[in-house]
């Protein structure tokens, strides 16, 4: 029997004025004549983002939500090349520590999903180096929070670059250039355009990287439509992780816009996954990627909790009972 725990992404549709992704453009930053005052302004925005992240964690705890993806935009312009001397971790250490303390106190799993421009398999040295800067930023945030960075950042395999097979090998070759501290942080996800579940398994098994199975992406981009044929391989990629297996759940917006995320989760689609994996592992964390964020999680719980074959273990976790 498997415990399924639900989480959601970055922002709440219920809490007001709680955005963790407030920002300042570099163009705006440059208009501020006093450099020190401009940095203080960035730090004020970052403090607000971190304060709102803590508010989100408290909101989650009130609803037994133990799984949450934090925004990667917590500290605006932190990775900009012209602000490399900015010691943002030192300036924000108290706020960062408060987030980590709360997450640990309530046994919450928090992680990140850096933007698509973080590309390890790129053939361009400059793009690779920029990707390392962004990954280091995420590492520093987790470290300052006091959270073990191991397997806390989800990435896609990258671009096809007109030759998918070579692009896969590029990832493997470039992996040796990734600092070991950042390697330990990374987990990979199958995507909806370029790299299928089987492609990701090929890389994950070679490099001992956990694979985050995205069901929606698989339905949009696959070699073998029956993902259950490969589920045991997915499970094995998590054997050496300190964290439970993680998957992504979203639903197509409609038939014409199949790859786009819907506002909410289609319960039958999710139930098919539940039935297919129940009992294969003790625990699966399911990250909801829906436009309505926590509202989508609450609606899914409403739909599941009235079923006779679902037993709720908390407000956001359950087991499937085969009756």
294-315: per-residue pLDDT in tens?
Answer: 999 999 999 999 999 999 999 9
Confidence of residue 323 (pLDDT cuts 50, 70, 90): low
Mean pLDDT (whole number) for 127-151: 98
C-beta separation of 188 from 209 below 8 A:
yes
Stated pTM of the model: 0.96
Model confidence pLDDT, tens digit, residues 184-212? 999 999 999 999 999 999 999 999 999 99
Query: 283-288 and 211-214 as β-strands: parallel, antiparallel, unpaired?
Result: unpaired
C-beta separation of 147 from 107 below 8 A:
no
Say how far apart CA 229 and CA 220 lie, in whole Å. Answer: 17
Model confidence pLDDT, tens digit, residues 40-51? 999 999 999 999
The DSSP line for 102-168 is: HHHHTT-EEEB---TT--SS-S-HHHHHHHHHHHHHHHHHHHHHT---TT-EEEE----TT-HHHHH
Say how far apart CA 47 and CA 56 lie, in whole Å. Answer: 14
Model confidence pLDDT, tens digit, residues 61-99? 999 999 999 999 999 999 999 998 999 999 999 999 999
State which H helix or E strand residue 284 sits in. Answer: strand 283-288
Confidence of residue 33 (pLDDT cuts 50, 70, 90): confident
Mean pLDDT (whole number) for 26-35: 89
């Amino acid at each position: 029997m498997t415990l399924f725990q639900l989480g959601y992404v970055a922002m709440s549709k219920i809490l007001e004025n709680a955005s963790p992704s407030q920002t300042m453009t570099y163009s705006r930053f440059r208009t501020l004549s006093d450099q020190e005052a401009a940095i203080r302004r960035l730090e004020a925005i970052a403090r607000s983002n971190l304060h709102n992240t803590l508010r989100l964690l408290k909101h989650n705890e009130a609803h037994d939500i133990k799984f949450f993806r934090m925004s990667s935009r917590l500290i605006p312009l932190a990775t900009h090349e012209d602000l490399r001397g900015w010691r943002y971790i030192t300036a924000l250490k108290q706020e960062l520590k408060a987030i980590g303390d709360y997450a640990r106190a309530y046994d919450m799993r928090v992680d990140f999903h850096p933007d698509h421009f973080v590309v390890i398999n790129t053939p361009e040295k400059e793009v690779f180096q920029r990707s390392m800067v962004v990954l280091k930023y995420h590492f520093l945030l987790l470290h300052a929070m006091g959270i073990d960075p191991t397997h806390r950042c989800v990435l896609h395999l990258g671009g096809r670059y007109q030759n998918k097979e070579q692009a896969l090998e590029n990832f493997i070759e470039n992996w040796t250039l990734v600092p070991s501290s950042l390697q330990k942080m990374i987990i990979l996800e199958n995507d909806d355009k370029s790299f299928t579940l089987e492609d990701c398994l090929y890389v994950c098994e070679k490099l001992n990287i956990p694979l985050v199975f995205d069901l929606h992406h698989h339905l949009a981009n696959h070699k073998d439509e029956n993902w259950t044929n490969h589920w045991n391989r997915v499970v094995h990629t998590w054997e050496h992780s300190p964290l439970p297996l993680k998957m992504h759940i979203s639903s197509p917006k409609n038939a014409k816009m199949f790859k786009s995320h819907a506002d909410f989760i289609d319960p039958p689609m999710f139930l098919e996954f539940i039935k297919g994996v129940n009992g294969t592992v003790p625990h699966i964390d399911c990250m909801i990627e829906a436009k309505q964020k926590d509202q989508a999680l609450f609606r899914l719980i409403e739909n599941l909790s009235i079923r006779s074959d679902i037993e709720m273990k908390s407000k956001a976790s359950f087991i499937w009972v085969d009756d």
